[in-house]
Structure 1
Amino acid sequence: MPVPTPPIAARPVRTSAGQRAYEWIRDAILRGDFAEGEFIDEVALSERVNTSRTPVREALQRLQVERYIDLLPRRGAQVRVVTATEMREIYQARILLESDALRGICRRHAGAPDAAVALIAEMEQAGKAQDWNTFAQLDHRFHAAIVRHHGNAVIADLYDALRPRQVRLGTRTMMEAPGRLATIESEHQQLIAAICAADADTCVSVLLTHLREVPELVSAFGGNQSR
């Protein structure tokens, strides 16, 4: 009788030094540990992340692509300043992509995606804890689930490309205007209800209200109109 082959033990998943550095720096920027316009030093980052400078440099290159920082010749890495113009452009891009997705979902009477509905409770908990970074991450997942539910993979990919900027803007929004929490939660519920009713016009109307300009943010970004 053949001897059964013992199962291969699962190997622990290891995070590369570059990935670890990327996540550490990204989260520090989102939390506001590094102020907008601040220069961050490779050597200091290496010490804080407990790695060599090469993974930190790789992380900074990736963060520049995702528009968290700018790498300036002979000056180093500078945390990008989010401007009122950029805020408006992000909202405009979201309106285009999300409106199309909502209308398509309603035409098919596809109902609300389970993933989006399930995220509402998680967002409520993050909001109560005033964990704005987590709230913004969950908010992106909520809207991305709706866009993916449309079934257009290209549009879903385009929307996912907005994630770094959308999360950073969302975090800043809640830090500047925490009183909007109840309004945002209510609008999410209204959006789900309109999707379930296959009411495309109401869906788009709620979305436009949801992504309207927040006076507190316009004021906060008012001195930074240029890129």
Structure 2
Amino acid sequence: MTVSEPSSNQSARDRAYEWVRDQIISGTLPAGRFLDEAWISESVGTSRTPVREAFHRLNSERFIDLLPRRGAQVRSVTTRELEEVYASRRLIEGHAARALCTVGAGAPVKLPALATAMEDAGREQDWFTVAKLDREFHRAIVDAHGNSVLVELYDALRSRQQRVAVRALQIRPQRVPEIDAQHRAIVAALADNDTELVTTLLNEHLRPIPEILAALD
């Protein structure tokens, strides 16, 4: 798993937040686990106060629950969360893709390389990296549309989008070849400026899988 490297100008709170977030996304900190402030402080190299501040942000983003007298506990990915993340993505990505086709913009130049990198990571079963690259692939479509408000809305989904993706891959790793094929088809449809086809492909690609939903119940 490749996690985020801290930058020199990050605050201690941000470092703690990103470290815990990435450990939860990857599954290293599984659902149900209670988080020890002292252990996280030592792991991140900071005091407990930034860790507590990070916990409040993680709680607001529904990564953890703060339980009175018990501490911070990692939340499970629920069926409702998965369905809502996918529904939000269909709205934003579908709009961006249709707009690109309408103006004849073609496929963003980054997409083929990102698709190849995802395929390589998938063969290694590095789900954290696959999810990160998947987000970059789809964000490139939204970014190419050029609507800054939609980009901001899409970026707000980032952490939950990656966690949902990792959890889905852990449940159904055999879907990886199908996902890879869908990405290639989306690139081709954008290259052809085929509005109807790219809409169909994205809707299929971002459709919750019943077997995955059942595993989350």
Do the two structures share a fold, i.e. TM-score over 0.5?
yes
Which structure 2 segments of 5+ residues have no match?
Answer: 1-6
Do residues 151 (structure 1) and 146 (structure 2) align? yes
TM-score, structure 1 length as denominator? 0.87
- Counterpart in 2 of 1:168? 163
| Structure 1 residue 102 corresponds to structure 2 residue 105 | no
Tell me if 1:185 matches 2:197.
Answer: no
Indicate whether 1:93 and 2:88 are aligned: yes
List structure 1 runs of 4+ shifted beyond 6 angstroms.
none
Q: CA deviation at 1:69?
A: 1.4
1:213 pairs with 2:195: no
Maintained 8 Å contact 1:68/1:164: no
Shift of 1:132: 0.1
Deviation readout 1:104-162 (Å, 9 max, x if unpaired):
00110001111223211211221111110010011011101101111111111111111
Deviates most, 37-46 or 160-169: 37-46
Q: Secondary structure at the match of 1:114?
A: coil
Please state how far the C-alpha of 1:34 moved relative to its aligned partner. 1.9
Structure 1 residue ranges without an equivalent (≥5):
1-11, 223-227
2:28 pairs with one of 33, 46, 52: 33
TM-score normalized by the length of structure 2? 0.91
How far, CA to CA, are the matches of 1:150 and 1:16 in structure 2? 32
**What is the aligned residue count?**
211
Report the residue type matching 2:100 in the other structure: I
Of structures 1 and 2, the larger Rg is shown by 1
2:125 to 118, 126, 130: 130
Percent of aligned pairs with the same residue?
A: 49
Residue 114 in structure 1 maps to residue 86 in structure 2 = no
Greater shift in the superposed pair: 85-94 or 33-42: 33-42
More displaced 10-residue stretch of structure 1: 93-102 or 47-56 = 47-56
Change (3 A) 1:52 1:13: closer
Q: Aligned pair 1:48/2:55, yes or no?
A: no
SS in 2 for 1:71: strand
Q: Which amino acid in 2 is paired with 1:81?
A: S
Shift of 1:169: 0.4
Separation (CA, whole Å) in 2 of partners of 1:49 and 1:100: 40
Q: State how far apart, in whole Å, the 2-side matches of 1:144 and 1:16 are.
A: 26
1:62-97 CA-partner distances (Å, limit 9, x unpaired): 222332112233332121221111111111111111
Name the Cα RMSD after superposition: 1.6
